Structure 1
Amino acid sequence: MSKRSMRVPAAAPRALAVACAVAMLAMSSARADSPAPVVSNKINDVAARLASPPADARPLTRWWWFGPAVAKPELEREIKAMKQGGFGGFEIQPVYPMEHDDTARGIKNVPYLSNEFLDAVSFANRTGRANGLRVDMTLASGWPYGGPHIGINHAAARLRVATVEVPAGAASYALPVVMNGERLIAAFAGPGNAKQYDSTALALVTPKALPAGRASIAAAGAPRVMVFYIATRTGQQVKRAALGAEGFVLDHLSRGAVDHHLRTVAEPLLKAFGKQPPYAVFSDSLEVYGTDWTEDFLQEFKKRRGYDLVPHLPSLFSGKGEAIGNTAGGVRRDWALTQTELVNERYLIPMNDWAKARKTQFRSQTYGEPAVSMSSNRLVALPEGEGPQHRSFSFTRLATSAGHLYGRPVISAETWTWLNSPAFSATPLDMKAEADRMLLSGVNLFVAHGWPYTPPGTIEPGYAFYAAAVFNDHNPWWNVMPDVNGYLTRMSYLMRQGEPANQVAVFLPNDDVYASLVPGKVSLSAEMHKHVTPQLTEQILDAGHNLDYVDAESVLALGVKHPVLVMPHVTRLAPEVIDKLAAYVRGGGKIIAVGSTPSLAPGFVDAQRISARVVVASKALFAQGPNVQVVANDAAVGAALGAALAPDLKLSSHVSEVGFVRRKLLDADIYFIANTGNTEVKANAAVAVKRAHAAWMDPDSGKLTRAASTGEHALHLAPYESRVLVLSDAPLAAAEAPRYGAPAVLADLGRDWKVSFPAAAGQGAAGVATEHNFAELRSWTDNEATRHFSGVAVYTKEITVNAGQTAGQRVMLDFGPGTPLAATPKVPAGMRAMYESPIREAAQVVVNGKRAGAVWHPPYRVDVTSLLAPGSNRIEVRVANLAVNTLAGHALPDYRLLSVRYGQRFVPQDTELIAPRPAGMLGPVKLVGEKIL
Structure 2
Amino acid sequence: MAQTRAAANSPSLKEVVKAFATPPDDARPMVRWWWFGPSVEKKQLEREILDMKAGGFGGFEIQAVYPMELDDEAKGTHNYPYLSKQFLEHVSFANDKARANKLRVDITLGSGWPYGGPHVTVGDAAGRLRVAVIELPAGNESFALPAIMNGEKLLASFVADGTPKQLDSSKLQLFEPQLLATKSGRAGVKAAVADRVVVCYIASRTGQQVKRAALGAEGFVLDHLSRNAIDHHLKTVAEPLLKAFGKNPPYAVFSDSLEAYGTDWTDDFLAEFQRRRGYDLKPHLPKIESGIGADAAAIRRDWALTQTELANERYLVPVNQWAKAHGTRFRSQTYGEPAVTMSSNKLVDLPEGEGYQFRQFSFTRWATSAGHLYGRSVISAETWTWLHSPAFSATPLDMKVEADRMLLQGVNQFVGHGWPYTPPGTLEPGYAFYAAAVFNTHLPWWNVMPDVNGYLQRMSYLMRQGKPANQVAVFLPTDDVYATLSLGKVSVSAEMGKYVTPELSAQVLDAGHNIDYVDAESIMELGINYPVLILPHVTRLAPAVIAKLNDYVRAGGKIIAVGSKPSLAPGYLNAARISAEVQTASDALFANQDKVSLVSSDSAVGAALKAAVPADMELSAEKENIGFIRRQLTDSDVYFIANTSNRDVTANAAFRSKYKTAYWWNPYDGKISNADVKPTLRLAPYESRVLVLTDTPQNAQQEAKLADATTVVDLSRDWKVQFSEKPQAVNMSSLRSWTEDEATRYFSGIASYTKDLELSAAQLKDSRLTLDFGPGTPLEVTPKVPSGMRAMLDSPVREAAVVFVNGQRAGSVWKPPYQLDISKLLRAGNNRLEIQVANLGLNALAGHALPDYRLLSARYGQRFVPQDTHLIQAQPAGILGAVKLIGAKLQ
TM-score range normalised by the length of the shorter chain: over 0.9
Shift of 1:276: 0.0
C-alpha displacement of 1:172: 1.0
Query: For 1:61 and 1:653, how far apart are their aligned partners in 2?
Result: 37
Residue 138 (structure 2) aligns with? 168
Distance in 2, Cα, partners of 1:693 & 1:630: 38
| Deviation of the 1:828 alpha carbon | 4.3
Match of 1:243, SS state, is coil
Q: How far does the alpha carbon of each residue in 1:431-461 deviate from its partner, in whole angstroms, 9 at most, with x for none? A: 0000000000000000000000000010111
Shifted more, 244-253 versus 829-838: the winner is 829-838
Structure 2 residue aligned with 1:201: 171
AA paired with 1:817? Answer: P
1:279 to 206, 228, 251: 251
Q: Structure 1 residue 223: deviation in Å?
A: 0.3
Does 2:158 correspond to 1:192? no
Whether the 8 Å contact between 2:717 and 2:734 is mirrored in structure 1 is yes
Shift of 1:214: 1.1
Query: Unpaired runs of 5+ in structure 2?
Result: none
Match for 1:257 among 212, 226, 229? Answer: 229
2:542 paired residue among 552, 574, 580:
574
Task: Name the SS for the 2:163 alignment partner.
Answer: coil
- The equivalent residue for 1:182 is 152
Give the Cα separation in 2 of the matches to 1:568 and 1:625: 18
Q: Alignment partner of 1:50: what SS?
A: helix
Does the aligned pair in 2 maintain the 1:362–1:380 contact within 8 Å? Answer: yes
Q: CA deviation at 1:104?
A: 2.5
1:631 alignment partner, one of 599, 607, 616: 599
Matched residues in 1 for 2:166 and 2:251: separation?
A: 55
CA distance in 2, matches of 1:930, 1:153: 74
Question: Which residue of 686, 691, 697 maps to 1:725?
Answer: 691
1:468 to 431, 436, 442: 436
Query: Which residue of 1 is the match for residue 667 of structure 2?
Result: 699
Match in the other structure for 2:113:
143
Give the whole-Å Cα distance in 1 for the aligned partners of 2:287 and 2:724.
69
Say whether 1:667 aligns with 2:625: no
- Secondary structure of the equivalent of 1:650? strand
Assess if the C-alpha contact under 8 Å between 1:254 and 1:294 holds in 2: yes
Q: Matched residues in 2 for 1:702 and 1:813: separation?
A: 21
Separation in 1, partners of 2:606, 2:273: 41
1:497 is matched with which residue? Answer: 465
Q: Who is 1:548 aligned against? A: 516
Aligned partner of 1:586 in structure 2 is 554
Once the two structures are superposed, what CA deviation does each residue of 1:785-827 show, in whole Å capped at 9, x if it has no partner? Answer: 0000000100001011111112111100000000000021222
* 1:107 paired residue number: 77
Residue 647 of structure 1 aligns with an amino acid whose one-letter code is A
Task: Name the counterpart of 1:344.
Answer: 312
Is residue 242 of structure 1 aligned with residue 200 of structure 2?
no
Cα deviation 1:280-325 (Å, max 9, x = unaligned): 000000000000000100000000000000000000111xxxx655
CA distance in structure 2 between the aligned counterparts of 1:816 and 1:476, rounded to whole angstroms: 22
Structure 2 contact 66–215 (Cα < 8 Å) conserved: yes
Instruction: Say yes or no: does 1:90 pair with 2:27.
Output: no
Question: Does structure 1 conserve the Cα–Cα contact (< 8 Å) formed by 2:771 and 2:821?
Answer: yes
**2:190 matched residue in structure 1:** 218
Counterpart Cα distance in 1 of 2:72 and 2:753: 40
Of 257, 265, 270, which residue of structure 2 is paired with 1:298? 270
* 1:410 match: secondary structure: coil
Q: Say if 1:40 and 1:46, in contact at 8 Å, map to a contact too.
A: no
Q: Answer whether contact 2:169 2:292 (CA < 8 A) is retained.
A: no
The question of whether the paired residues in 1 share the 8 Å contact of 2:458 and 2:667 is answered with yes
Choose from 808, 813, 817 the match for 1:855.
813
Please give the residue correspondences for 1:815-834 in structure 2 after superposition, counting only pairs within 5 Å.
815-834=773-792
After superposition, what is the alpha-carbon deviation per residue over 1:382-421, rounded to whole angstroms, capped at 9, x for unaligned? 0000010100001001100000000000000000000001
Deviations 1:92-142 (A, max 9, x none): 000000001122222110000000000000000000000010000100000
Given that residues 79 and 127 in structure 1 are in contact (C-alpha distance below 8 angstroms), is that contact kept between their aligned partners in structure 2?
yes
- Change over 3 Å in CA distance of 1:196–1:931 after alignment to 2: farther
What is the SS of the residue equivalent to 1:228? Answer: strand
Partner of residue 12, structure 1: none
Which residue does 1:479 correspond to in 2?
Answer: 447
Counterpart Cα distance in 1 of 2:743 and 2:84: 47
**Structure 1 counterpart of 2:438, one-letter code:** V
Deviation of residue 487 (structure 1)? 0.2
TM-score normalised over the length of structure 2: 0.99
Q: Residue 519 of structure 1 aligns to a residue in which SS?
A: coil
User: Which position in structure 2 is the counterpart of 1:869?
Assistant: 827
Letter in 2 for 1:658: I
Partner of 2:765: 807
Report the AA paired with residue 134 of structure 1: R
Letter in 2 for 1:67: G
When the two structures are superposed, what TM-score results if normalisation uses the length of structure 1? 0.94
- Provide the secondary structure at the position in 2 that maps to 1:770: coil
Structure 2: distance between partners of 1:195 and 1:62: 50
Aligned to 1:755: 721
User: Does the Cα contact within 8 Å between 2:540 and 2:570 map onto a contact in 1?
Assistant: yes
Code of the aligned partner of 1:795: Y
Question: CA separation in 1, counterparts of 2:545 and 2:586?
Answer: 10
| Paired AA for residue 728 in structure 1 | T
Do structure 1's residue 455 and structure 2's residue 423 form an aligned pair? yes
| Contact kept in structure 2, 1:71 and 1:106, CA below 8 Å | no
Q: CA deviation at 1:326?
A: 4.1
CA distance in 1, matches of 2:596, 2:519: 18
In structure 2, the residue matched to 1:159 is 129
Q: Please state how far the C-alpha of 1:729 moved relative to its aligned partner.
A: 2.1
Q: Output the amino acid matched with 1:262.
A: L
The SS at the match of 1:104 is coil
Q: Match of 2:388?
A: 420
Match of 1:901 in 2: 859
Distance 2:136 2:676 in 1: 82
Task: Report percent identity of matched pairs.
Answer: 67
CA contact (8 A) 1:566 1:594 kept: yes
**CA–CA distance in structure 2, aligned partners of residues 76 and 914 of structure 1:** 31
Contact 1:384 1:411 in 2 (8 A): yes
Gaps of 5+ in 1: 1-18, 27-35, 764-768
Q: Which residue of 2 aligns with 1:780?
A: 738
Q: How far apart in 1 are the matches of 2:366 and 2:166? A: 39
Pair 1:913 & 2:876 matched: no
How many residues align? The count is: 887
Give the conservation status (yes or no) of the 8 Å contact 1:44–1:733.
Answer: no
Determine the C-alpha separation between the residues in 1 that align with 2:387 and 2:585: 48
Structure 2 counterpart of 1:480, which letter?
Answer: V
Superposed CA deviations along residues 12-43 of structure 1, whole A, max 9, x for unmatched, are xxxxxxx9xx99xx9xxxxxxxxx99x55111
Structure 1 contact 420–829 (Cα < 8 Å) conserved: no
Question: Structure 2 CA distance, aligned partners of 1:871 and 1:257?
Answer: 75
Query: RMSD across aligned C-alpha pairs, in angstroms?
Result: 1.3
Q: Distance in 1 between matches of 2:761 and 2:13?
A: 40
| Contact 1:847 1:876 (8 Å CA) reproduced | yes
User: Which residue type is aligned with residue 351 of structure 1?
Assistant: V
1:373 is displaced (CA, Å) by 0.1
What SS class does the counterpart of residue 103 from structure 1 fall into?
coil
Instruction: Determine the C-alpha separation between the residues in 2 that align with 1:666 and 1:216.
Output: 75
Q: Equivalents in 2 of 1:202, 1:519: separation in Å?
A: 18
